[in-house]
Chains A and B, each alone.
Chain A
Amino acid sequence: DAGVIQSPRHEVTEMGQEVTLRCKPISGHNSLFWYRQTMMRGLELLIYFNNNVPIDDSGMPEDRFSAKMPNASFSTLKIQPSEPRDSAVYFCASSRIYRMEAFFGQGTRLTVV
């Protein structure tokens, strides 16, 4: 049974470029979460979806960040334009709705130079 799949695993880009991170949740899971891991804030929730609908995007740091979930098996997190302070590990996670633990992908390490 495949887990949460994220791509790419590593991304190095120049400041000002657009970056797109991808996520395929576990089949049958209704909730999808995007997190960013930093030393200062730990795992920071950026946005989450229930049944493909964005429920809370209050964690998205700026308008440069956007996320979509066009269907139950795919989500993207886009940063445009990227900045060096966006460098972090970005995790996608999925769960069944309500009271079930979330399962994480292996993360995308983003480096903006």
Chain B
Amino acid sequence: DQQVKQNSPSLSVQEGRISILNCDYTNSMFDYFLWYKKYPAEGPTFLISISSIKDKNEDGRFTVFLNKSAKHLSLHIVPSQPGDSAVYFCAASGPGNQFYFGTGTSLTVIP
């Protein structure tokens, strides 16, 4: 009963190209979405978020897109850099304030 799903366990991208990480959710009560980045042996760190009243939020090389009708969000990284290689977690939050996370996508940016 995973409420947040990341169906791609891994992704490899050439340096300088675009990385697109995808996330789907099932609970229509979710209204706040976040992306976290995690390096080995460290805790996840917050990357970018989006409220359900928006469909796009941009922060430098990172852009998150939200499609509420499809219950889908994506993270675009342009241009990708080797330092972006990490595991990316999608998370969602609803009225209860708890955060539900996906299983993560391991991104490898090839120099």
Chain A interfacial positions (CB closer than 8 Å to B): 4, 31, 33, 35, 39-45, 48, 50, 55-56, 91, 93, 97-99, 101-107
Q: List 20 A-B contacts (CB under 8 A).
A: A33-B98, A35-B101, A41-B103, A42-B2, A42-B101, A45-B100, A45-B101, A48-B97, A56-B96, A91-B44, A93-B43, A93-B99, A97-B97, A99-B51, A102-B46, A104-B36, A104-B43, A104-B44, A105-B43, A107-B43
Question: Beyond A91-B44, A104-B45, is A40–B103 a contact (Cβ under 8 Å)?
Answer: yes
Q: How many residues on B have C-beta within 8 angstroms of the other chain's C-beta atoms?
A: 25
Q: Mark B90-110, 1 if CB is under 8 A from A, else 0.
A: 010100111111111000000
Contact call A41/B2, Cβ cutoff below 8 A:
yes
Chain B interfacial positions (CB closer than 8 Å to A): 2, 6, 32, 34, 36, 41-46, 49, 51, 89, 91, 93, 96-104
| A residues near B93, Cβ cutoff 8 Å | 99
